Amino acid sequence: MKTICFIISARASYSRVKTILDSLKKEKKIKIDIVVTTSMIINKHGNVIDNIKKDGFKIGYKIHNLVSDENLTYQAKTTGIAIVELSNYFINKKPDMVFVIADRFETISASIASSYMNIPTIHLQGGEITGNIDNKVRNANTCLSDYHFVCTDKSRERLIKMGELKDRIFNLGCPSIDLAKKSLEIKFNKSKFLKYTGVGSKIKYENFIVVLYHPVTNEINETRKNIRTLFEVINDLNMETIWLWPNHDLGTDLVSKEIRSKRENSKSNNNIFYVKHFDSIDFLVLLRKAKIIIGNSSVGIRECSFIGTPAVNIGSRQNNRERGRNVIDCSPNKSEIQKAVKKQLQNGRYKNDYLYGDGESGRKIANQIIKFKGILKP
Protein backbone atom coordinates (compact mmCIF):
# COMPACT_ATOMS: atom_id res chain seq x y z
CA MET A 1 0.00 0.00 0.00
CA LYS A 2 1.32 3.45 -0.97
CA THR A 3 0.08 6.67 0.62
CA ILE A 4 -0.09 9.75 -1.58
CA CYS A 5 -0.57 12.99 0.24
CA PHE A 6 -2.45 15.70 -1.71
CA ILE A 7 -1.95 19.24 -0.44
CA ILE A 8 -5.05 21.30 -1.28
CA SER A 9 -4.78 24.97 -0.43
CA ALA A 10 -7.55 26.68 -2.42
CA ARG A 11 -10.85 25.99 -4.17
CA ALA A 12 -9.11 26.12 -7.55
CA SER A 13 -6.73 23.38 -6.43
CA TYR A 14 -9.51 20.94 -5.61
CA SER A 15 -11.11 21.27 -9.04
CA ARG A 16 -7.71 20.49 -10.52
CA VAL A 17 -7.31 17.13 -8.79
CA LYS A 18 -10.88 15.97 -8.24
CA THR A 19 -10.93 13.50 -11.14
CA ILE A 20 -7.46 12.16 -10.25
CA LEU A 21 -8.74 11.47 -6.73
CA ASP A 22 -11.89 9.82 -8.11
CA SER A 23 -9.78 7.41 -10.14
CA LEU A 24 -7.22 6.72 -7.40
CA LYS A 25 -10.03 5.98 -4.94
CA LYS A 26 -10.74 2.80 -6.88
CA GLU A 27 -7.14 1.57 -6.56
CA LYS A 28 -6.65 -0.93 -3.73
CA LYS A 29 -2.90 -0.34 -3.51
CA ILE A 30 -3.21 3.44 -3.06
CA LYS A 31 -4.22 5.32 0.06
CA ILE A 32 -5.24 8.93 -0.51
CA ASP A 33 -4.37 11.38 2.24
CA ILE A 34 -5.77 14.91 1.88
CA VAL A 35 -4.27 17.85 3.76
CA VAL A 36 -6.07 21.18 3.50
CA THR A 37 -4.33 24.47 4.16
CA THR A 38 -4.53 28.26 3.72
CA SER A 39 -7.72 29.60 2.10
CA MET A 40 -9.36 26.15 2.10
CA ILE A 41 -9.73 26.49 5.85
CA ILE A 42 -11.66 29.73 5.80
CA ASN A 43 -15.20 29.96 4.61
CA LYS A 44 -14.67 32.94 2.33
CA HIS A 45 -15.02 30.89 -0.83
CA GLY A 46 -17.82 28.62 0.26
CA ASN A 47 -17.18 25.42 2.09
CA VAL A 48 -14.99 23.42 -0.29
CA ILE A 49 -14.08 21.04 2.56
CA ASP A 50 -17.72 19.95 2.71
CA ASN A 51 -17.64 19.32 -1.04
CA ILE A 52 -14.55 17.15 -0.66
CA LYS A 53 -16.30 15.13 2.05
CA LYS A 54 -19.48 14.89 -0.02
CA ASP A 55 -17.34 13.46 -2.83
CA GLY A 56 -16.38 10.62 -0.50
CA PHE A 57 -12.92 11.69 0.72
CA LYS A 58 -11.63 12.14 4.26
CA ILE A 59 -9.60 15.14 5.31
CA GLY A 60 -6.40 13.83 6.91
CA TYR A 61 -5.26 17.11 8.44
CA LYS A 62 -6.15 20.78 8.50
CA ILE A 63 -3.44 23.41 8.69
CA HIS A 64 -4.41 26.85 10.00
CA ASN A 65 -1.57 28.83 8.49
CA LEU A 66 -3.23 31.87 6.95
CA VAL A 67 -1.77 35.13 8.27
CA SER A 68 -4.67 37.49 7.92
CA ASP A 69 -2.74 40.75 8.24
CA GLU A 70 -2.72 41.89 4.61
CA ASN A 71 0.61 43.56 3.98
CA LEU A 72 3.70 42.54 2.00
CA THR A 73 4.73 39.97 4.64
CA TYR A 74 1.48 38.03 4.39
CA GLN A 75 2.34 35.54 1.64
CA ALA A 76 5.86 34.78 2.90
CA LYS A 77 4.64 34.26 6.48
CA THR A 78 1.67 32.14 5.41
CA THR A 79 4.00 29.96 3.34
CA GLY A 80 6.52 29.74 6.19
CA ILE A 81 3.96 28.50 8.70
CA ALA A 82 2.79 25.86 6.22
CA ILE A 83 6.39 24.60 5.76
CA VAL A 84 6.70 24.08 9.52
CA GLU A 85 3.31 22.39 9.84
CA LEU A 86 3.68 20.20 6.75
CA SER A 87 7.15 18.97 7.73
CA ASN A 88 5.76 17.89 11.12
CA TYR A 89 2.87 16.17 9.42
CA PHE A 90 5.12 14.39 6.93
CA ILE A 91 7.53 13.11 9.61
CA ASN A 92 4.64 11.63 11.56
CA LYS A 93 2.57 10.28 8.67
CA LYS A 94 5.43 9.26 6.38
CA PRO A 95 3.60 9.53 3.04
CA ASP A 96 5.21 7.67 0.13
CA MET A 97 4.61 10.59 -2.20
CA VAL A 98 3.40 14.18 -2.03
CA PHE A 99 1.22 15.74 -4.73
CA VAL A 100 1.65 19.49 -5.25
CA ILE A 101 -0.84 21.48 -7.33
CA ALA A 102 0.01 24.29 -9.75
CA ASP A 103 1.26 27.69 -8.68
CA ARG A 104 -0.52 29.47 -5.87
CA PHE A 105 1.99 31.19 -3.57
CA GLU A 106 1.51 28.81 -0.63
CA THR A 107 1.92 25.63 -2.74
CA ILE A 108 5.67 26.05 -2.51
CA SER A 109 5.49 25.15 1.20
CA ALA A 110 4.54 21.58 0.25
CA SER A 111 7.33 21.10 -2.29
CA ILE A 112 9.92 22.61 0.08
CA ALA A 113 8.87 20.37 2.99
CA SER A 114 8.61 17.19 0.88
CA SER A 115 11.88 17.63 -0.99
CA TYR A 116 13.92 18.42 2.15
CA MET A 117 12.43 15.27 3.64
CA ASN A 118 13.32 13.08 0.64
CA ILE A 119 9.71 12.35 -0.19
CA PRO A 120 9.16 11.90 -3.93
CA THR A 121 7.04 14.78 -5.13
CA ILE A 122 4.59 15.00 -8.01
CA HIS A 123 3.72 18.38 -9.51
CA LEU A 124 0.72 19.23 -11.67
CA GLN A 125 0.61 22.06 -14.25
CA GLY A 126 4.31 22.87 -14.53
CA GLY A 127 5.84 24.55 -17.56
CA GLU A 128 3.07 27.09 -18.14
CA ILE A 129 3.79 30.80 -18.30
CA THR A 130 1.71 33.52 -16.67
CA GLY A 131 2.22 36.89 -15.04
CA ASN A 132 2.15 37.50 -11.27
CA ILE A 133 4.27 35.76 -8.60
CA ASP A 134 2.59 32.51 -9.72
CA ASN A 135 5.11 32.12 -12.52
CA LYS A 136 8.09 31.97 -10.16
CA VAL A 137 6.27 29.68 -7.74
CA ARG A 138 5.26 27.29 -10.53
CA ASN A 139 8.87 27.04 -11.72
CA ALA A 140 10.13 26.58 -8.15
CA ASN A 141 7.61 23.75 -7.66
CA THR A 142 8.91 22.15 -10.84
CA CYS A 143 12.52 22.29 -9.63
CA LEU A 144 11.55 20.80 -6.27
CA SER A 145 9.49 17.97 -7.77
CA ASP A 146 10.43 14.57 -9.15
CA TYR A 147 7.51 13.80 -11.47
CA HIS A 148 5.59 16.27 -13.60
CA PHE A 149 2.11 16.17 -15.07
CA VAL A 150 1.97 18.99 -17.59
CA CYS A 151 -1.05 20.03 -19.64
CA THR A 152 0.34 21.04 -23.04
CA ASP A 153 3.19 20.02 -25.35
CA LYS A 154 4.79 23.45 -25.02
CA SER A 155 4.85 23.06 -21.23
CA ARG A 156 6.60 19.71 -21.62
CA GLU A 157 9.21 21.32 -23.89
CA ARG A 158 9.81 24.08 -21.35
CA LEU A 159 10.42 21.58 -18.55
CA ILE A 160 12.91 19.71 -20.70
CA LYS A 161 14.71 23.02 -21.31
CA MET A 162 14.71 23.58 -17.54
CA GLY A 163 16.66 20.34 -17.19
CA GLU A 164 13.90 17.98 -16.04
CA LEU A 165 14.21 14.36 -17.18
CA LYS A 166 12.07 13.56 -20.22
CA ASP A 167 10.85 10.25 -18.84
CA ARG A 168 9.50 11.96 -15.72
CA ILE A 169 7.36 14.48 -17.62
CA PHE A 170 3.89 13.39 -18.75
CA ASN A 171 1.55 15.46 -20.87
CA LEU A 172 -1.79 13.88 -20.06
CA GLY A 173 -3.85 17.08 -20.22
CA CYS A 174 -5.43 19.13 -17.47
CA PRO A 175 -7.83 17.38 -15.07
CA SER A 176 -9.92 20.57 -14.72
CA ILE A 177 -10.96 19.93 -18.32
CA ASP A 178 -12.48 16.62 -17.15
CA LEU A 179 -14.99 18.65 -15.13
CA ALA A 180 -15.58 20.93 -18.11
CA LYS A 181 -16.38 17.84 -20.18
CA LYS A 182 -18.79 16.58 -17.53
CA SER A 183 -20.49 19.98 -17.48
CA LEU A 184 -21.34 19.56 -21.18
CA GLU A 185 -23.62 16.67 -20.24
CA ILE A 186 -25.59 18.70 -17.69
CA LYS A 187 -28.51 20.83 -18.78
CA PHE A 188 -28.64 24.31 -17.25
CA ASN A 189 -31.38 24.30 -14.66
CA LYS A 190 -32.06 27.65 -13.05
CA SER A 191 -33.65 26.14 -9.95
CA LYS A 192 -30.31 24.50 -9.08
CA PHE A 193 -28.73 27.92 -8.77
CA LEU A 194 -31.29 29.40 -6.44
CA LYS A 195 -29.46 27.76 -3.50
CA TYR A 196 -26.54 30.15 -4.06
CA THR A 197 -27.00 33.17 -1.91
CA GLY A 198 -25.13 36.39 -2.38
CA VAL A 199 -25.62 40.13 -2.20
CA GLY A 200 -26.77 42.70 -4.72
CA SER A 201 -29.78 42.07 -6.87
CA LYS A 202 -31.47 38.78 -7.60
CA ILE A 203 -31.08 37.84 -11.23
CA LYS A 204 -33.05 35.73 -13.65
CA TYR A 205 -30.09 33.66 -14.92
CA GLU A 206 -31.17 34.27 -18.48
CA ASN A 207 -29.08 36.73 -20.44
CA PHE A 208 -26.09 37.10 -18.11
CA ILE A 209 -22.33 37.53 -17.96
CA VAL A 210 -19.82 36.39 -15.31
CA VAL A 211 -17.07 38.55 -13.77
CA LEU A 212 -14.10 37.06 -11.88
CA TYR A 213 -11.25 39.47 -11.25
CA HIS A 214 -8.37 38.67 -8.86
CA PRO A 215 -5.79 41.10 -7.48
CA VAL A 216 -2.46 41.05 -9.32
CA THR A 217 0.01 40.68 -6.49
CA ASN A 218 2.92 42.49 -8.14
CA GLU A 219 0.73 45.39 -9.33
CA ILE A 220 -1.02 45.93 -6.06
CA ASN A 221 -1.20 49.72 -6.36
CA GLU A 222 -3.30 49.47 -9.49
CA THR A 223 -5.94 47.23 -7.92
CA ARG A 224 -8.53 49.79 -6.82
CA LYS A 225 -8.28 51.75 -10.05
CA ASN A 226 -8.72 48.59 -12.12
CA ILE A 227 -11.79 47.49 -10.18
CA ARG A 228 -13.33 50.96 -10.59
CA THR A 229 -12.77 50.78 -14.34
CA LEU A 230 -14.24 47.31 -14.55
CA PHE A 231 -17.23 48.39 -12.51
CA GLU A 232 -17.86 51.30 -14.91
CA VAL A 233 -17.76 48.90 -17.86
CA ILE A 234 -20.24 46.54 -16.21
CA ASN A 235 -22.47 49.41 -15.16
CA ASP A 236 -22.60 50.83 -18.70
CA LEU A 237 -23.21 47.38 -20.17
CA ASN A 238 -26.27 46.97 -17.96
CA MET A 239 -26.61 43.22 -18.46
CA GLU A 240 -27.35 40.71 -15.72
CA THR A 241 -23.98 40.06 -14.07
CA ILE A 242 -22.74 37.43 -11.65
CA TRP A 243 -19.66 38.89 -9.96
CA LEU A 244 -17.55 36.43 -8.00
CA TRP A 245 -15.48 37.36 -4.98
CA PRO A 246 -11.70 37.13 -5.67
CA ASN A 247 -9.23 34.48 -4.46
CA HIS A 248 -7.34 34.96 -1.22
CA ASP A 249 -4.16 36.68 -2.40
CA LEU A 250 -2.31 39.83 -1.50
CA GLY A 251 -4.75 42.59 -2.51
CA THR A 252 -7.95 40.61 -2.01
CA ASP A 253 -9.15 43.05 0.63
CA LEU A 254 -8.59 45.95 -1.77
CA VAL A 255 -10.73 44.24 -4.43
CA SER A 256 -13.43 43.37 -1.90
CA LYS A 257 -13.49 46.88 -0.41
CA GLU A 258 -13.77 48.48 -3.83
CA ILE A 259 -16.58 46.10 -4.87
CA ARG A 260 -18.42 46.85 -1.62
CA SER A 261 -18.10 50.61 -1.98
CA LYS A 262 -19.22 50.52 -5.60
CA ARG A 263 -22.13 48.29 -4.68
CA GLU A 264 -23.26 50.56 -1.87
CA ASN A 265 -22.84 53.80 -3.80
CA SER A 266 -24.33 52.70 -7.07
CA LYS A 267 -28.04 52.99 -7.54
CA SER A 268 -27.98 52.80 -11.28
CA ASN A 269 -27.17 49.14 -11.84
CA ASN A 270 -29.58 46.73 -10.25
CA ASN A 271 -28.37 43.83 -12.28
CA ILE A 272 -25.30 42.68 -10.37
CA PHE A 273 -25.42 39.62 -8.13
CA TYR A 274 -22.27 39.12 -6.01
CA VAL A 275 -21.51 35.51 -5.05
CA LYS A 276 -18.66 33.97 -3.04
CA HIS A 277 -18.36 30.66 -4.79
CA PHE A 278 -20.11 28.04 -6.91
CA ASP A 279 -19.39 24.31 -6.62
CA SER A 280 -17.01 23.30 -9.38
CA ILE A 281 -19.40 21.56 -11.79
CA ASP A 282 -22.15 24.15 -11.16
CA PHE A 283 -19.67 26.90 -11.97
CA LEU A 284 -18.85 25.34 -15.32
CA VAL A 285 -22.52 24.72 -16.16
CA LEU A 286 -23.09 28.38 -15.33
CA LEU A 287 -20.23 29.45 -17.59
CA ARG A 288 -21.67 27.40 -20.43
CA LYS A 289 -24.85 29.40 -20.15
CA ALA A 290 -23.07 32.77 -19.64
CA LYS A 291 -22.75 35.07 -22.65
CA ILE A 292 -19.14 35.90 -21.74
CA ILE A 293 -16.70 35.84 -18.81
CA ILE A 294 -14.75 39.00 -18.00
CA GLY A 295 -11.75 39.22 -15.65
CA ASN A 296 -8.36 37.61 -15.20
CA SER A 297 -9.09 34.10 -13.92
CA SER A 298 -7.44 31.08 -15.49
CA VAL A 299 -10.90 29.57 -15.94
CA GLY A 300 -11.54 31.94 -18.88
CA ILE A 301 -8.50 30.48 -20.60
CA ARG A 302 -8.50 26.80 -19.57
CA GLU A 303 -12.01 25.48 -19.03
CA CYS A 304 -13.73 28.14 -21.17
CA SER A 305 -11.61 27.18 -24.18
CA PHE A 306 -13.03 23.67 -23.86
CA ILE A 307 -16.63 24.72 -23.31
CA GLY A 308 -16.45 27.58 -25.83
CA THR A 309 -17.41 30.52 -23.61
CA PRO A 310 -16.02 33.83 -24.91
CA ALA A 311 -13.53 35.35 -22.46
CA VAL A 312 -12.32 38.93 -22.07
CA ASN A 313 -9.00 38.61 -20.27
CA ILE A 314 -7.86 41.83 -18.60
CA GLY A 315 -4.30 42.82 -17.75
CA SER A 316 -1.11 40.91 -17.07
CA ARG A 317 -2.20 38.12 -14.68
CA GLN A 318 -2.51 35.52 -17.45
CA ASN A 319 0.29 36.95 -19.65
CA ASN A 320 1.74 34.36 -22.04
CA ARG A 321 -0.43 31.47 -20.85
CA GLU A 322 -1.34 29.42 -23.93
CA ARG A 323 -4.83 30.35 -25.02
CA GLY A 324 -7.39 29.12 -27.48
CA ARG A 325 -9.53 31.16 -29.89
CA ASN A 326 -12.13 32.03 -27.19
CA VAL A 327 -9.93 34.68 -25.51
CA ILE A 328 -9.58 38.39 -26.31
CA ASP A 329 -6.88 40.08 -24.24
CA CYS A 330 -6.98 43.74 -23.28
CA SER A 331 -5.32 46.16 -20.89
CA PRO A 332 -7.26 47.44 -17.85
CA ASN A 333 -8.43 50.44 -19.83
CA LYS A 334 -12.14 51.26 -20.11
CA SER A 335 -12.44 51.66 -23.86
CA GLU A 336 -10.24 48.60 -24.53
CA ILE A 337 -12.34 46.42 -22.24
CA GLN A 338 -15.54 47.76 -23.84
CA LYS A 339 -14.23 47.02 -27.32
CA ALA A 340 -13.32 43.46 -26.34
CA VAL A 341 -16.68 42.89 -24.60
CA LYS A 342 -18.58 44.14 -27.63
CA LYS A 343 -16.61 41.86 -29.94
CA GLN A 344 -17.15 38.81 -27.75
CA LEU A 345 -20.89 39.46 -27.35
CA GLN A 346 -21.21 39.77 -31.11
CA ASN A 347 -19.16 36.65 -31.69
CA GLY A 348 -21.12 34.37 -29.36
CA ARG A 349 -19.92 30.90 -28.37
CA TYR A 350 -16.77 29.35 -29.83
CA LYS A 351 -16.13 25.79 -30.99
CA ASN A 352 -14.73 23.45 -28.34
CA ASP A 353 -10.94 23.62 -28.16
CA TYR A 354 -8.83 20.69 -26.88
CA LEU A 355 -5.70 22.73 -26.11
CA TYR A 356 -5.74 21.71 -22.41
CA GLY A 357 -6.89 18.14 -22.85
CA ASP A 358 -9.68 15.86 -23.92
CA GLY A 359 -11.50 15.57 -20.60
CA GLU A 360 -10.00 12.19 -19.62
CA SER A 361 -6.89 13.40 -17.81
CA GLY A 362 -7.73 12.35 -14.23
CA ARG A 363 -7.96 8.68 -15.15
CA LYS A 364 -4.77 8.80 -17.25
CA ILE A 365 -2.81 10.58 -14.50
CA ALA A 366 -4.03 8.11 -11.86
CA ASN A 367 -2.95 5.19 -14.07
CA GLN A 368 0.51 6.72 -14.38
CA ILE A 369 0.83 7.48 -10.64
CA ILE A 370 0.32 3.85 -9.71
CA LYS A 371 3.35 2.95 -11.80
CA PHE A 372 5.68 5.34 -9.91
CA LYS A 373 8.17 3.59 -7.71
CA GLY A 374 9.18 6.54 -5.57
CA ILE A 375 12.32 7.62 -7.36
CA LEU A 376 13.90 10.86 -6.23
CA LYS A 377 15.42 13.38 -8.61
CA PRO A 378 19.00 12.38 -9.39
Provide the binding-site residues for ligand UDP, judged by CB under 6 A.
11-12, 15, 176, 212, 214, 244, 247, 277-278, 280, 283, 297-299, 303
| Smallest gap from residue 50 Cβ to ligand UDP (A) | 14
Residue 269 vs 280, nearer CB to ligand UDP: 280
| Smallest gap from residue 11 Cβ to ligand UDP (A) | 5
What are the CA-CA distances from residue 27 to residues 100, 107, 175, 218, 267 (Å)? 20, 26, 18, 42, 56
Provide the terminal-to-terminal Cα distance of the chain, rounded to the nearest Å.
Answer: 25
Q: Are 31 and 58 in contact (CB under 8 A)?
A: no
Residue 100 vs 244, nearer CB to ligand UDP: 244
Residue 14 vs 350, nearer CB to ligand UDP: 14
For the chain, the maximum distance between any two Cα atoms, rounded to a whole number of angstroms, is 62
How far apart CA 105 and CA 34 sit, in angstroms, is 19
How far apart CA 74 and CA 248 sit, in angstroms, is 11
| Smallest gap from residue 374 Cβ to ligand UDP (A) | 29
Q: In sequence order, what E strands does the chain have?
A: 2-8, 30-37, 59-63, 97-101, 121-124, 147-150, 169-171, 198-200, 208-212, 240-244, 272-275, 293-295, 311-314, 327-330
Q: In sequence order, what E strands does 22-112 have?
A: 30-37, 59-63, 97-101
DSSP letter at 327?
E
Residue number of the CB closest to ligand UDP reads 297
How far apart CA 238 and CA 345 sit, in angstroms, is 13
Residue 164 vs 303, nearer CB to ligand UDP: 303
Residue 114 vs 280, nearer CB to ligand UDP: 280
| Smallest gap from residue 276 Cβ to ligand UDP (A) | 7
Q: Are 20 and 364 in contact (CB under 8 A)?
A: no
Residue 195 vs 267, nearer CB to ligand UDP: 195
Residue 121 vs 280, nearer CB to ligand UDP: 280
Outline where 55-133 has alpha helix (H). 74-93, 108-116
